[in-house]
Amino acid sequence: MLKYCFSVVAAAAVFLMPLLLRGEDIVIRKRSQDNPTISFSGAAGDTEMNNAINRFLTMCGWFDAPRQGSASEYSLRSERVNGALHIYLYRADQRIAGWRFNASGSPRQVAKSVVDTVIEHVFEQLRVRGFCQSRIAFCAETAPGVRNIFLCDIDGGNVEQITNYRTLNVEPCWSPTGQTICFSKYGRTGIDVVETTVATPRRSRIISSFRGINTGAAVSPDGSFLAVILSPDHQVDLYILGLNQRTRRRLTNGIAVEASPCWSPDGSKLAFVSDRRGNPRIFIINADGSGLQMIPTVGIDAVTPAWSSDGKIAYASRRSRHSAYAIAVYNPAAGSNEFVSRGEGGWESPGWAADNRQVVCKRTLRGKSSLWIVDTLTGRERELLRTGTELFDPAWSPCVKR
């Protein structure tokens, strides 16, 4: 079987460090477009809140800090009034907006609300609410041969373990509500797709347990169907299962190995990986099984597609037979198809943020893997999270559309 289809079964022998370290490295490879700059000094004596707001302003990806000696385009000012946090937004020296926030919660949660409010006010093109409230699911090794599902915030903080099994649990995917996560759970007799709630107390259920493998789960945008790779007859093919009614539809049928399905924004199509042309390539198929076609890609192969809500497909590909994987984006509307990650090492498993410009991915450098975010608009690359073990399969949660 192909490496890309079975990479999740590789076991390693390291334990997860109890303390997860948040990465701060930021690398800029190109500047196709600058973000507006913003400054925030904060209120005197409110250090924890000031630091939290500054952190999310820096890590949200929508603002840049002003260069030393330069004035910022926007500035934020704050004050505490009777226990409430008042935030004022200025452009140059003109006040353009102001808000009042309940400051009784944790500084991180208040900071998320503050920064979300600011970017939603400044950027009309941001079509979602609560971007800083979104989270990233990923899997990490917790013991030799054991992987479990974790969550972190968009700044790499607030790491939380979601599953606690003594087996491989990989390929997390979010439901469209962001309230549950599906993943592939390896057992003694096969691989099942399991769904678990994010909020505690957590409740789990098996949603696909056919004979053979049940992997690559992807929930449709309306939450009604599950795309999954099954092998009930020893062929590795793409299927659609009904989540609200017991239905199963086979979309491919052949000796080719299929992997990594993802849904189009309207739920009418799926992209997936197949080796039917030799090297792994990305194909698109209608949800009724018709209209199979291969999409154009850069590089010599293409794996792990992710479809943004505005129609772009991110994927991992190699520039040459001897090079590592890099992240590329195919944008049919703009007629573009190009590599977007430029840092050294291997880049794999992209997952779109709800803002349709940033992707989270796994980066392997000098034998160690960590999670990185690539801004496909500015070319900015920043490390999200590194630990004392290997990290895999990041997936960004959805946000509420506005």
Whether 166 and 312 map to the same domain: the answer is yes
The answer to the question of residue 33 being in a domain is no
**Side-chain-facing half-sphere of 161: CA atoms under 13 Å:** 14
362 plus 252 within the same structural domain: yes
pLDDT tens for the chain, 402 residues long, are: 344 343 432 232 222 223 333 444 544 444 457 899 999 988 888 899 999 999 999 999 999 999 888 899 999 999 998 889 999 999 988 999 999 999 988 999 999 999 999 999 999 889 899 999 999 999 999 999 999 999 999 999 999 999 999 999 999 999 999 999 999 999 988 899 999 999 999 999 999 999 999 999 999 999 999 999 999 998 999 999 999 888 999 999 999 999 999 999 999 999 999 999 889 999 999 999 999 999 999 999 999 999 999 999 999 999 998 999 999 999 999 999 999 999 999 999 999 999 999 999 999 999 999 999 999 999 999 999 999 899 999 999 999 988
**Residue 177 near residue 223, CB atoms below 8 Å:** yes
Q: What is the domain extent for residue 64?
A: 38-129
Strands 38-40 and 74-81: parallel
User: Taking the CB of residue 133, how many other CB atoms lie within 10 A of it?
Assistant: 17
Please identify, among 129, 151, 168, the residue that sits at the C-terminal boundary of a domain. Answer: 129
pLDDT attached to residue 19: 30
Final residue of a domain: which of 114, 129, 144?
A: 129
Asked whether residue 105 is assigned to any structural domain, the reply reads yes
Q: What is this structure's pTM?
A: 0.91
Those residues whose C-beta lies under 8 Å from the C-beta of residue 236, and which sit 6 or more positions away, are 1, 5, 213, 229, 230, 256, 257, 258, 259
User: Can you read off the two tokens belonging to residue 388?
Assistant: 């004392």
Is the same domain home to 154 and 257?
A: yes
Same domain, 181 and 309: yes
Q: How many domains does the chain have?
A: 2
Q: What is the CATH number of the domain that holds 228?
A: 2.120.10.30
Whether residues 211 and 136 fall in one domain: yes
- Burial environment of residue 335 by CB neighbours within 10 A (0 to 12, 13 to 18, 19 or more): exposed
* Residue 365: inside a domain: yes
Domain annotation covers residue 174: yes
Residue 101 sits in the same domain as residue 192: no
**What confidence score (pLDDT) does residue 129 get?**
95
* One domain for residues 99 and 136: no
Domain CATH number, residue 58? 3.30.160
Give the pLDDT of residue 244. 86
User: Does 208 reside within a domain?
Assistant: yes
Q: Are residues 191 and 65 in the same domain?
A: no
Is residue 22 one of the residues assigned to a domain?
A: yes
157 in any annotated domain? yes
Last residue of a domain, one of 73, 107, 129: 129
Distance separating alpha carbons of residues 400 and 98, to the nearest angstrom: 23
Same domain, 302 and 211: yes
Burial-class residue 334 by CB neighbours within 10 Å (0-12, 13-18, 19+).
Answer: exposed
Verify that 120 and 55 share a domain, yes or no: yes
Shared-domain flag, residues 173 and 261: yes
Q: Give a yes or no: residue 167 inside a domain.
A: yes
Q: Is the peptide bond before 201 cis (omega within 30 degrees of 0)?
A: yes
Same-domain status, 57 and 20? no
Can you say how many angstroms the Cα of residue 99 is from the centroid of all Cα atoms in its chain?
30
